[in-house]
Each structure stands twice: as structure tokens, then as C-alpha cells.
Amino acid sequence: MHNLKSQIIHRYLPNGMEVYLHPSDFAPIVSIQVLVKAGSIDEDDKEVQEGGIAHVLEHMLFKGTKKYPNTGQIASTVEFEGGDINAYTTFDHTNYHLTAPSSFALKGAELLLDVVQNSLLDKEELERELEVIIEEIKRSRDNPNAVVSHNLFSLFYEGTRMAKPVIGDQAIVENFKREEVYHFYKKWYIPNNIIFIATGDFNNEEMWEHLLKLSEDFLPQTVPQRERPPLPINESQKQPTAKIERGAWQEARVQIATTAPTLESHDMPVWDVFASILGEADSSRLTRILRDELQLITSIDCSCYTPKYPTGLLGIGFFGMAKNAMHALKIIVQEIRRLAEVPPTREELTRVLNTLKAQRIYSRESMDGISRCAGMSLQTSQKLEFENLYMESVSKVTTEQIRLTAQKVMSQLEAGNFHISVALAKESLPEITEKDFIDSVFHAVKMTHHNEEPLEASLQKSNSPNYSKESWIALYDRKTSELNADVKQIKIQLPFGKTLKINYRLSKRLPVTSGMLLLKGGLMNEPKNKNGVSGLMASMLTRGTQRQNYRKFIEELEDNASSISAFSSRDLFGMRFDSISENSLRTAQMLLDCFFRPEFSQSEWQRTYKETIEVLIAQKDSPAARLARVSQPLLFPNHPYALSGIGSEKSLENVTKEDAQEFWSQLFHAKEFVFSVAGDFDLRSFVNLIESEFKTFFDSEYENKLLEKQFEPQFPVQNDPLVGFDELEREQAHITVSFRSYPISDSRRTALELGANILAGQGGRLFLDLRDKKSLAYTVSASQSPNVLAGVFTAYIATASHKAKEAIEGIKLHIERLATEPPTEDELKRAQRSVLGSQSIESQHHNYQASQLAMSDVYGLEFDNFLRFSERVNAVTPEMISNVLKSLLSENPPIISIVGPRETWTPKNDDPVLKWDIN
């Protein structure tokens, strides 16, 4: 056998299993996928009337095998090694995947192949897991986005199994028997119907030999004939259809779909480009017209769903105020007609092509990304050539092809080949019918319309400075991390005693650069009665500069396949950028333009303000957002931390554009600024740019002021309100049990983070007991989130309203046990490896590296403090976790927040659940 250690292997095992091995050592990580070519459309109608069995099987395969017989043992094994395991089911395949440190490569392959061969499918476990899946189905029915998408598919794919949700229908799923699930398992989970994919830091030769051995007893069978009837062309398909579903929602959601090519159709790449030009990015036509100019919607997206069978779907979806829905739908059709009459500009096409090429590069930042790309390609008839052929086709797309595609879409709409799905609030547009939505499309199709060429952007690209001295860096105050020689810092003194730090980490593996500008600021500095001004200010900074209006700014970013964003958190203000390396210096210049020279135009202020109000309205549909608004005032009474990052509808009434500008000017009162850069970039050019921008600003007329000293929040006490309830008409109740924890500078927070991990995760106590054993929920978790002044420890569960009391008592009991009884050494080791593995996986991404380089410094820690994370984690003992928890619980009463239906149980003031039992 040839030396396979570093070669890419694509071949078949003797049992017919397809294998793809892609070694790469840029990170000590391995990503493994076992892709079973069977999904919900392979469920036989004679066996399963309404579907859902493929998804049930996906859940059950993690419930135990002959080798790992105990509930939770599979997930615990992976988490013990610092990895993560999960799965998902689609219409045509089911994917079991894990990501872990490379030392787990062989064991990970063995574990996943054991799962797909030797699941026990225990009858009692199935009964418990079906209850969990019912909670997942309820969660889906509670989500208006999921509702509107499911209804669209049911209309579009009527007559095929794709009209039925992958997750199944509750009335059918809750009655599944083990024999039915086992039959599907043995019918489709056969080696010659499976693709094994591994990417990462492993020895190919060793892995191949390992797979040969593991597959000896995994014998091939005849792959069943697949039922793939064509999409029926009956009377209902010749006519458009629509469905309106009403619920306890705020904003309207509308989706319209028409026929598109399948995955391997020769013209599929053209349709992808067409969809991108129409409505996939901030500079795309529908976003610009409907969101930015007419302000009819909050958000819009256009994309092609391209399965291999039976046909593809061009979908356009938007949400916003219900009163604008009809008007927005008409303009969508008119804009398609515009493209059918006049092709897009060369600039529009180039922008989309650059973005698609950049996405291909970004997908290779992580082992998971490489695996996902391979998995998609291997399911096509072209195999690994698919992606190259796709990109080659994309690069050859012409503006005339886009025009012809738009003509085809218009012809389909004119012929009535479209379907509409709408989700509306119960009281919205009471007189409106499905026919009204259909008629509005037909009306728009027939309207005449004047051609208008889109404006063209012609922006000069900046050239990086030309340096003559090779010893330029010796002029700076420099520091190199003792823990990693690639992590470095340049320190620059600015006027007024201010400091600029440039923290950086060079890597030439991919032509990608990420950066972050960070300083103290945010919610803590907001004036009284102006809550939300910090968020509005951050939004305005990327809405145009004194050098470029918003339109030109966003078009240049997308031309360069780059992105810039700004954020304002409780304690920090920051800006981020991601870019292909060749455009990274220009992108950094644009970010600094936003920071030092924002435009603050009245028109953009009005749009941004309106969008923020609509986001606040949309948040009323989000149980998570409502939970935060309930819990924060209880956790941080009479403190700015109790406020929302984007304000409230009431508080924003007091905020003006001038307030936002004033708040922006206060950013520069900070004493320290950190700019971090990670990836492939020219250091000299970046340092010169950043230094000159900062010195130019502070050398000009600038009034220096000291920021007010921030005050620490007081702990809640037993007499304070401890329970918050927000009524929301949903099937599930969303619950948090929380308490105050340590600030980010407190070293004890590491023990608390490990405590949260012992409770959370698929191998954690909450998951194993409340989800796996008691079937209370599909989702249960715990987390520790630190801030500058104080942190929060939170356990969360989403459960049926009648199970709320049991769920709250269960969470509280597990927190108390961890505070009074130290975890086992095995539990601690699993938690340590899990958090370290997660950090290692995240660290593959340049934007995560840039974030870590900046955060440590601004939080007042050493610039390379994040590199000491493993040292801090490994120093924690079981006793430290219990002691830390017990200390906190003795100072903190439990804070219970609930968002759910009126009948949800909520504790009274004297209920025992409102006092910790830690004696």
C-alpha cells in the first residue's frame, strides 16, 4: 500500500461503504461524519402513514449500543474527550457527526460506526424519547418561522413526502412502536448506503486500516428501491395555492415560492446567482428597495432550495408589519419583472460572484466546514468534482443569463405556478383571505413598469503604504506572549494619556483576515431615561460615513466580499470586520471611517430607528428575548444591567439622533483602545493605518472628559421580587432558574463555568435526568455568563406548561446537589475536556481569535490571558466547584423567570422553591 498518511483518500470499503479521508494539521481537531442516505422521504407510506420515523431513529441511536449500553454514555464519552456529538435528519439523508480533539480520531470513528450498526433501540427508552420529540414538535409549532416554512412546503410539494415535516406529526409520532423504528433502521442503515467522512489531524493510513477492521462484521445488503415519483401535475398544481395561519404572533411572515432547478441541473448555479442579486444580501435589490428605501419590511431573504428530487424551489420570504405585506409582495414581483426586462449591471454580478468565492474560502476555516463541503459533494453524481464544477459554472454566469432566468420566473408566476404561506397575528387583517394574496401577485404580474437601471458604484480601492525601513517595528513598544510566540502586542501612546494596543496573530493558512476594535462603553454609560441609545448609536456607525453614503459603503463591502459590524453590550463597545486578505486593509480603513467619521444622516437615522422598533416588536415573538426582559430586573435591581441592550419602545421615545451622536462622541473618553487582527495580513500596513487614524483624531480638537465611575450591582435579597411571569400564548413554557455570579476578573468563575458544564451538555446531569429519564423537555441547558461587574448563572428548560413545577424543582435540586456534594472526578474531567475542546474547536476561526485577542485586554486582563484558559481549567478541583456554588447560593436567592401560557405554574412567595436547601 502506498504511504497514505497525508493523502486525500476517496474509495470504498469491501462492504461498499464510501470513505473520504482528508488529513489536515492546521488545528489539532478531527471532524467525522457518518452520512446515511435515508431521510423522511424514504419512509414507506404503507409502513408510516404521516412520517417522522427517520427523525425518531436519529434520536434513538444515541440512546445506547451493545458497546455503550447506558443512557447518555455515548455523548458522555465524546464530551469526556473534549468533543461534541450531534445529528440531524433531512428529507433525503441523516447525518451523525462529531468534532473532537485529534487524539479521539480513531475512537470517534469507532463510536459513530457502532451507533449506526448496533443501536439497542430499547423499548422503554423509545417511550421516553418520544415524549422528548413531542416537546420538539411543540417548539416547532410555537415558532412562526417554522410554521410558515412547513406550510409552504406542504403546498409546494403536495403529493410527495416532502409535503410532510421531517419531524413528523404529534398524533402519529407518539404512537410509534419499536418494531416500526427497528424495521426502518435495518432497512436503510447498511454500509453500502453510508458515506464516512473524516477531516483533520490524523494518520490516513492508520484510519483506513482501522475502518477495514471495524467494517468486517458490517455486511452489505441490497439497497431498497427508492420511491421517487415525480411531482404530481394535477389540478391543484396548475393553480396557485396559499395558506394563512393565525397565531399569537406580532409581525407578519410571508413566503412565496415557485419552481427552480434541482441540485444537479446544469442551470442551477445561474438560479443561485439570480437569487443572490434579487435578495440575499444587504445590497441586493429587494433589501435595498423594501427595507431601506420604502421601509415596508424588517427583513427579507431570497434563495434557492435545490434538492436532488423532485424539483427545486425558489423562495422569497420576508417579515414586517402586516399592513405592508400585500404591498411588499407586489413590489417583489415588479422587481423580478425589472430584472426580466433589463439585466443586472456587471457590478451587481461581480459582487455576487465575489461573495460566492469568498464563502468557499471561509468554509475551509474549520475541519467541520471541510467535512460539510465534502458531504454535500459526495451525495451528487459528480462526487468530489461537484464543487469545482459548480464554482466554474458560477464564474461563467452572464448578466443575460440572469435576465433570461428572471423571464422564466415571470412566466411561471403568470402561469400561476406559485404558492404563498403567511403567518399572521390573530387580530391582524381580519378580512384578508388566501385569495387576496394570490390576486395581489397576479395583479403585480400584469402591471406595466418603467425600467430603471440600478445606480453603479465606482469606488477607488486604497493602496497600502510603501515602507522603506525593514526595522520599522523596532520603534514600537512590543510584547510577545510567553505562551505562544505567534501572539503579539504593539503598544502606542496617544495624546491625553490614552493608549492604543494592537494585538495580533499572523497565520498564512488561508487568505482570510478578521479584526476587532474594542473599548469600554455600552449600556453602563447610557444616560438615564435614554435606554437603547447605545444600540442605536452602534447601528448608525455602519449606515454610511462622511466619505461614503450607506449605499456605496455596503456595495463596496460586498464587492470586496467583506463585512463590518458594530455592537454595544453591557460593558463594551466594539466593531468587527471579516475580509479576504487582499481586501483586508481597505476593509479596516472602512471600519475606522465608521468609527471616526460616521455620517449620522437623518434619512438613515429614521430607517435605523424604525428597524429597531420593529425588532422590539418581533422580540415579542421570541420566548428567549421575553425571558431576558423578565429576569434581568430581578437579578440586577436598580442597576443598568437590568436594562435591555436595545431599549424598549417606551425608552426609545426619549432618544434622538443628537443623543446618539453625543453618545458616540463619548466613546473617545475611554482611556484605552484595543485593535486586534488575526489571519493573513500585512502587519506594517495595518499598524501604520491604525496608528495614523487614531493619532490624527486625537491630535485634532478634542475635548477629553473622564467617564463616570461605574457602580457594582447589589445582590438580590429574599425580600426582593424573585419570580417573574410573562404570559405568552404558546404550547410550551420557557423557564430559567438563575442567580448572580462573579465578575469576569474573579478567578472563581472558572470553577463556576465547569459547574455549569457538569449540569449541561448531553452527558450532563440536567440532560440525563430531566430530558432523558423524565422526558420533561427537548431543550435543557445551563450556562455561566460573566460581565465586568457581575455575572449570571442560568439553567434553562422549555417544557409543557403542566410540567413546569416538576421542571423547576428538578433544576433547583441539581444545583443544590452540586453545591453540597462535590462532583466525581470523572464528571470534572468530562467538563474540563468539554470546555477545552470547545475552545479548541472555536479557535479554528479567525474572528474568534481576533475576539479573544481584544477581549482579554479590555477586560483588564493580560492581552494573552485567553491562552491561560487551559491552565485555569485544569487547576479546578471537585471541591472548588461545590465551594464556589455553595458560597454563591448562600448570598443569592433563586430567581425564577417564566414565559408561557396562563395556566403555567408559578411559585408563590412562601414556596420552598424560592429558598436554597444547602444545609
pLDDT tens sequence across 126-150: 999 999 999 999 999 999 999 999 9
Cell of 197: 467522512
pLDDT tens profile 817-846: 999 999 999 999 999 999 999 999 999 999
Type of residue at 194 = I
CB atoms within 10 A of CB 385: 12
Cell of 845: 476561526
Report the chain's C-alpha Rg in angstroms. Answer: 28
Residue 65 has pLDDT above 50, yes or no: yes
Residue 101 has pLDDT above 60, yes or no: yes
Residue of higher predicted confidence among 714 and 827: 827
At 233 the pLDDT is 62
Task: Give me the percent of the chain exceeding a pLDDT of 90.
Answer: 86
Cα–Cα dist 356/272, whole Å: 10
Count of residues in the chain = 919
pLDDT tens profile 901-916: 999 999 998 899 999 9
Closest CA to 867 of 880, 855, 884: 855
CB-count exposure of residue 523 (10 Å: 0-12, 13-18, 19+): buried
Q: If you average pLDDT over residues 848-866, what whole number do you get?
A: 92
Closest CA to 269 of 173, 361, 164, 356: 356
Type of residue at 692 = S
Residue 407 has pLDDT above 70, yes or no: yes
Going along 787-892, which residue ranges are E strands?
Answer: 791-800
How is residue 523 annotated by DSSP?
G
Q: If you average pLDDT over residues 569-586, what whole number do you get?
A: 96
3-class SS at 227?
Answer: coil
Task: Give me the percent of the chain exceeding a pLDDT of 70.
Answer: 95
At 174 the pLDDT is 93
Specify the residue for cell string 433544576: 811
| Beta pairing partners, 242 | 420
Residue 458 has pLDDT above 80, yes or no: no
Cα–Cα dist 674/697, whole Å: 16
Cell of 444: 403585480
pLDDT band at 465 (very low <50, low <70, confident <90, very high): very low
List C-alpha distances in Å: 200 to 85, 204, 279, 337, 538.
Answer: 16, 10, 35, 47, 38
CB 533 within 8 A of CB 527: yes
Residue 334 has pLDDT above 80, yes or no: yes
Cα–Cα dist 863/484, whole Å: 12
CB atoms within 10 A of CB 162: 24
Closest CA to 627 of 511, 759, 727, 504: 727
pLDDT tens profile 611-635: 999 999 999 999 999 999 999 999 9
Cβ neighbours of residue 471 closer than 8 Å, sequence gap 6 or more: none
At 50 the pLDDT is 65
Q: If you average pLDDT over residues 19-37, what whole number do you get?
A: 96
Cα–Cα dist 116/267, whole Å: 36
CB 29 within 8 A of CB 102: yes
Cell of 114: 457502532
Helix (H) / strand (E) containing 101: strand 94-101
CB 30 within 8 A of CB 102: yes
CB-count exposure of residue 127 (10 Å: 0-12, 13-18, 19+): middle
Specify the residue for cell string 390576486: 439
Cα–Cα dist 74/76, whole Å: 5
Residue 522 has pLDDT above 60, yes or no: yes
Domains in the chain, start-ordered, CATH in brackets?
A: 9-141+157-214 (3.30.830.10), 235-446 (3.30.830.10), 476-699 (3.30.830.10), 723-914 (3.30.830.10)
At 237 the pLDDT is 52
Cα–Cα dist 577/590, whole Å: 9
At 860 the pLDDT is 87
Q: If you average pLDDT over residues 23-32, what whole number do you get?
A: 95
Cβ neighbours of residue 702 closer than 8 Å, sequence gap 6 or more: 495, 496, 668
Residue 2 has pLDDT above 70, yes or no: no
Residue of higher predicted confidence among 705 and 219: 219
Cα–Cα dist 893/718, whole Å: 6
Helical pair 602-619 and 533-541, crossing angle rounded to 10 deg: 130
Cα–Cα dist 490/502, whole Å: 5
Q: Three-state SS string across 282-349, please?
A: CCCHHHHHHHHHCCCCCEEEEEEECCCCCCEEEEEEEEECHHHHHHHHHHHHHHHHHHHHCCCCHHHH
Cell of 183: 424495521
Specify the residue for cell string 421517487: 228
pLDDT band at 124 (very low <50, low <70, confident <90, very high): very high
Specify the residue for cell string 491630535: 699
Q: If you average pLDDT over residues 790-802, what whole number do you get?
A: 96
Cα–Cα dist 383/380, whole Å: 5
pLDDT band at 707 (very low <50, low <70, confident <90, very high): low
Q: If you average pLDDT over residues 60-65, what whole number do you get?
A: 95
Q: Is the dihedral of CA 254, 259, 261, 262 positive or negative?
A: positive
Residue 450 has pLDDT above 60, yes or no: no
pLDDT tens profile 218-238: 999 999 998 887 777 644 456
Residue 423 has pLDDT above 80, yes or no: yes
pLDDT tens profile 666-697: 999 999 999 999 999 999 999 999 999 999 89
Bridge-based pairing state of the strands 499-506 and 672-679: parallel
Q: If you average pLDDT over residues 705-731, what whole number do you get?
A: 82
Q: If you average pLDDT over residues 385-398, what whole number do you get?
A: 95
At 431 the pLDDT is 93
Residue 309 has pLDDT above 70, yes or no: yes
At 714 the pLDDT is 82
Cβ neighbours of residue 584 closer than 8 Å, sequence gap 6 or more: 513, 515, 562, 577, 679, 680, 681
Query: Where would I find the H helices in 18-83?
Result: 53-60, 73-80
Residue 374 has pLDDT above 70, yes or no: yes
